Amino acid sequence: MRRKPQSFTRCTAALRALAVALALLSPAAISATVAADGPPRPPEEPLFHDGRSVVRAVVATPRDVRTVLAIAKDVLNHRIDVGPVDFIVDADGLRALAKSGLAHEVLVADLGPVLRADFAARARRGGAGGDGGVAGGGGFFDDFRRLEEIEAHLAALVAARPDLVTPFTIGTSLEGRPIRGVRITKAPAGSPGILFNATQHAREWGATTTACFIADRLVALEGSDPRVTALLSRAWVDVIPVVNPDGYVYSWDVNRLWRKNRRNNGNGSFGVDLNRNWAFQWGGGGASTNPDSETYRGPSAFSEPESAAMRDYFVANATLVGHIDFHSYSQLVLSPWGYTTAPPPNAAGFNALGLEMRDAIERATGTAYAAGPIASTLYIASGSSVDHAFGVHGVISWTIEVRDKGTYGFVMPASEIVPNATENLAAALELAEAAVDGAVVRLSGGARAVVEPDLAAPVAAEVRVMRGAAVAGGVRLFARIGSSGAFTETPMTETAPASFAASLPAAPCGARIEWYIEAATTVGVARSPRGPGAVHATQAIATQVLFTDTFETNLGWSAGVAGDTATSGLWTRVDPVGTIAQPENDSDDPGTLCFVTGQGVPGGAAGAADVDNGVTTLLSPRLDASHPESRIAYRRWYSNNLGGAPNADSMPISISGDDGGTWVLLEDVVENRGAWIERSFRVADFVTPGASVRLRFVARDLGQASLVEAGVDAVRVFVQECPPVEGDLNGDGTVNGADLTILLGAWGGAGPADLDGSGTVDASDLTRLLALWS
């Protein structure tokens, strides 16, 4: 693949103007329209946003921004670098949007029924529903919970493990509600600590449940999970799930989409955006002076009791070293700064740790998040928690925007609570360990699953100090061949600042290499992989590539077969033009071409060249997979979670061993990763290996008007095997004591231990085995 810039980054001046305009647009700029709601209704009369829609426009120019500005009732979320912005419009706004010609999709046609159904479901369950069961028991995470239920759950954690959990209150909200948290620790006094908080923004319930889940799991896993146990023995972890209790209650009782606190601003409007009310860089960009605005910064820094309580918490807890402020939505892992696009101190450290957190999330549930600094990844916002925590206290501070990416937005289905929180617990542990141990170790190019036998394969890692200082010679590789015995320690060489290299031991074909890296700082020892005793595992095995197709020329693929019904988005071999649903580049293989479903035009709408009205089939030529151990690999792209009727389709990928006569399903793709994903299969697990194997990729839009995009690249046939080792009776790749035991056990008989084929296992076989000894 040769990377080409995304079309909208080609014009940097326009982009800068766009960034400025977007900073203005951020909920702040929509104040006047929000005010059109008039004064808030009394609590007994919920607001359901009837007749309003949620739309996503792909903003590409400052003019587009002005259009959105004029039309939006509330901006929900947006990312500058990929262009989409989600916002609420009324019926007039929807008409205006259609007239404006701005490319957009309707994510929710009418919020009214959605919010009414959501409200009714919760009302049926009753206010006191849920049993506050301890440590995940009793279905606490089956549904969203009212403030009282969350408080009861925190109390239950304390009651269950008084040796581990201590309750605290950091202050009182405007309406007199305590802002509660729990401290979870077995560490001695004076140890470093971590804070996880959520719900500065009332409507972000997916963040609230994440914080509750983290507290719950830490309590449940302490004493059994080595990683959690080790963390809690050397650090304290505080969880404050609801920083804005008044707003949270209001989002349950009156307006599900309420964001701010409940300050009466005195002009008929309510609420200060707590995440614009912190002192560090208070009053800068991306915050509003207008009380009607959704990002109203308040009359002065820390004017609000909720943010002031958080300020006091940070002052009082001097050994706090790491922090995550959970928000929703967009699936982003965000680091300082928020107030400026200028890089923060240790930007490289933040970047490396952000990527580690993103990877941990993906390993946990397969969900794709993006990582980067706030101001350049999302938008400029000043007076926020993250900037204050890092700017004033030096705390390694993050915002995570949890699921999803706009399909449900703030109104996350209850079934997503646990998977969402599970992936964010993984990120939380990653942050906690890096902050406590003082460093992050990030493997360059990941941990290789396979290396060539008998060669010392290089291992490279980026080591970034997050706290304290590096220890000279403190980065070391530990490796062993096999799964038992001592690890051999090798110092890693610093080949460039923060880049360390060493080699894995050469291992015979078939052997498993286990290894880990340690990086010592003055405050602790960081490790890859994280967690005591965890190892990377790499297999030494010989790979022989028999066939490669990079799609730079057509080696006989058929794009379309008889019976295909799709009317647009047919498979085509091109250098793709990206949209929010389609790749901008082919996969990481030589050249630029791949197969995708329909070629777009630069700046075109995402729905313009997707698959519509039926199926489109991509059929391979005959592939020679006659080696009995043949494996087939391909890289695929699939997107079906954007646009109308998301997740309604799938892409079946099948294999035939008889030239297309009969087909066996390899996988039915539904995952939406926004990335090229490589898959490989052993042919014999599906069909009889032979010279007439074919692959078939069926992209389809069945029944509903969905946004469906797919791609295929880098098809290969290869074999991974070890030549048989003479004398290796147990097949572990070496001749050793285990083989001797087998030979002696077979003494006097026949079979494989009869190495010389004399008909009897005897002394001459023993002599031979000893001569072959590894």
Instruction: Look at residue 374 and give the partner it binds from ligand 0X9, Zn ion, none, a contact being a CB closer than 5 to 8 Å depending on partner kind.
Output: ligand 0X9
Catalytic entry in 204, 306, 356, 401: 401
Site string for ligand 0X9, 252-281 (x = CB under 6 A): -----------------------x------
User: Using CB under 6 A, which of the segments 50-58, 220-228, 377-385, 502-510 binds ligand 0X9?
Assistant: 377-385
Phi-psi region of 731 (alpha: psi -120 to 50; beta: other; left: phi over 0): left
DSSP string, 691-750: S-BEEEEEEE--SS----EEEEEEEEEEEEE-PPPTT-TTSSSS-SHHHHHHHHHTTTS-
177 binds ligand 0X9 (CB under 6 A): no
Q: Which is nearer to ligand 0X9, 372 or 524 (CB)?
A: 372
At 763, list the tokens. Answer: 């002394």
The amino acid at 338: G
At 145, list the tokens. Answer: 């919970």
DSSP string, 547-597: EEE-SSS-SS-EE--TT---SB--EEEE-PPP-SSS-SS--SSSSS-EEEE
Task: Looking at residues 278 to 337 of the shown chain, list those that interact with ligand 0X9 (rule: CB under 6 A).
Answer: 327, 334
Q: How far is the CB of 278 from ligand 0X9 (least distance, A)?
A: 9
Site string for ligand 0X9, 84-103 (x = CB under 6 A): --------------------
Q: How far is the CB of 399 from ligand 0X9 (least distance, A)?
A: 4
Q: Which is nearer to Zn ion, 260 or 327 (CB)?
A: 327
370 binds ligand 0X9 (CB under 6 A): no
Helix (H, G, I), strand (E, B) or coil at 534: coil
Contacts of 12 (CB under 8 A, 6+ apart): none
338 binds ligand 0X9 (CB under 6 A): yes
Q: Which is nearer to ligand 0X9, 197 or 587 (CB)?
A: 197
Contacts of 273 (CB under 8 A, 6+ apart): 27, 201, 259, 260, 287, 288, 293, 294, 295, 296, 297, 298
CA–CA distance, 590 with 551 (Å, rounded to integer): 9
77 binds ligand 0X9 (CB under 6 A): yes
Nearest to ligand 0X9 by Cβ — which residue?
338
Return the residue of 73, 146, 201, 700 that touches ligand 0X9, per CB under 6 A.
201
- CB atoms < 10 A from the CB of 590, how many? 12
Q: How far is the CB of 327 from Zn ion (least distance, A)?
A: 3
Specify burial of residue 575 (Cβ count, 10 A radius: 0-12, 13-18, 19+).
middle
Question: Does 175 participate in catalysis according to the annotation?
Answer: no
28 binds ligand 0X9 (CB under 6 A): no
Q: Which is nearer to ligand 0X9, 100 or 341 (CB)?
A: 341
Q: Which is nearer to ligand 0X9, 59 or 386 (CB)?
A: 386
381 binds ligand 0X9 (CB under 6 A): yes
Q: Which is nearer to ligand 0X9, 327 or 631 (CB)?
A: 327
Q: How far is the CB of 85 from ligand 0X9 (least distance, A)?
A: 11
Q: How far is the CB of 325 from ligand 0X9 (least distance, A)?
A: 7
Q: Site residues (CB under 5 A) for Zn ion?
A: 201, 204, 327
User: Using CB under 6 A, which of the segments 61-69, 87-95, 346-354, 383-391 binds ligand 0X9?
Assistant: 383-391
User: Using CB under 6 A, which of the segments 50-58, 114-122, 373-381, 601-609 binds ligand 0X9?
Assistant: 373-381
251 binds ligand 0X9 (CB under 6 A): no
How many amino acids of this chain bind ligand 0X9 (CB under 6 A)? 15
Q: How far is the CB of 335 from Zn ion (least distance, A)?
A: 16
Q: How far is the CB of 56 from Zn ion (least distance, A)?
A: 18
Q: Which is nearer to ligand 0X9, 251 or 275 (CB)?
A: 275
In the numeric block, the tokens 């090229």 are attached to 676
At 26, list the tokens. Answer: 């951020």
At 475, list the tokens. Answer: 């980065």
Q: How far is the CB of 466 from Zn ion (least distance, A)?
A: 25
CA–CA distance, 486 with 686 (Å, rounded to integer): 40
**Going edge to edge, which strands form the sheet with 439-443?**
439-443, 458-465, 499-503, 493-496
Sign of CA dihedral 349, 355, 359, 361: positive
Instruction: Look at residue 640 and give the partner it binds from Zn ion, ligand 0X9, none, a contact being a CB closer than 5 to 8 Å depending on partner kind.
Output: none
**226: closest CA among 512, 4, 535?**
535
Q: Taking a C-beta distance cutoff of 8 angstroms, is the pair 303, 311 a contact?
A: no
CA–CA distance, 581 with 586 (Å, rounded to integer): 14
Instruction: Look at residue 306 and give the partner it binds from Zn ion, ligand 0X9, none, a contact being a CB closer than 5 to 8 Å depending on partner kind.
Output: none
Return the residue of 102, 374, 436, 439 that touches ligand 0X9, per CB under 6 A.
374
Q: How far is the CB of 201 from Zn ion (least distance, A)?
A: 3
CA–CA distance, 288 with 198 (Å, rounded to integer): 22
The alpha carbon of 167 is separated from its chain's Cα centroid by a whole number of angstroms, namely 31
Integer angstrom CA distances of residue 206 from 266, 408, 419, 532, 544: 31, 11, 11, 30, 47
CA–CA distance, 569 with 383 (Å, rounded to integer): 46
384 binds ligand 0X9 (CB under 6 A): yes
**Which residues of the shown chain bind ligand 0X9 in the complex (CB under 6 A)?**
77, 201, 204, 275, 327, 334, 338, 374, 378, 381, 384, 386-387, 399, 401
Residues recognised as catalytic? 401
